[in-house]
Amino acid sequence: MGVPSGTKFVGIASFVDTTEKKSNLSNRYSEVYTIETLSAAGVTPVTGNAIDFTSKKIFNTSSSPATGDLTEDLTDALLGVVQKIYHNDGSAPAVPAGWVLIGSGTYTTSALNIIYAEWCGGSRVEYWIVAG
C-alpha cells in the first residue's frame, strides 16, 4: 500500500505512544497501520457509501469497492475512529460539507482508491486518499 507523500509515519514495529492527540500528525497517521490490520482483528467489511464513526469499520472491499457520492452519519461519532473506504468510480465522489482533504493524495478515476476518514468534532471530518 502506498502512503500519502510528505507525511510522517511510525513504523509498525516502533514503540511509540499512538494515543490520539489531534496535535501530533505522526500519531494521527500511525492509525493507517492500525486500520490495515482490522480484518485480522475481526472487523468485517460493510457495504455502502453512508460512513459512520461509531466504531472502526472497513467500507466495501478491494474487490467490491463503492461507487457514487459519500454521505455521513455523525450520530454517536467517536474521536479517534478512522474509517477505511474502498472506492472506484469514473469521477471523484462528492463528500459531505465539512469534510477536509488533508495530505497530497488525489482521487484517481476508474481505479481503486482507498479513502481514510476521521471525525474531528462538530461537522469536521478529515480525510486522505491513497491509490490502491
pLDDT band at 131 (very low <50, low <70, confident <90, very high): confident
Give residue 31's pLDDT. 45
Dump pLDDT digits (tens) for 48-105: 999 999 999 999 999 999 999 999 999 999 999 999 999 999 999 999 999 999 988 8
Phi, psi of 7 (to 5 degrees): -115, 160
Cell readout for 81 is 475512529
Beta pairing class for 58-59 and 82-87 = parallel
pTM, entire model: 0.69
The domain segmentation of the chain, as residue ranges, is 25-131
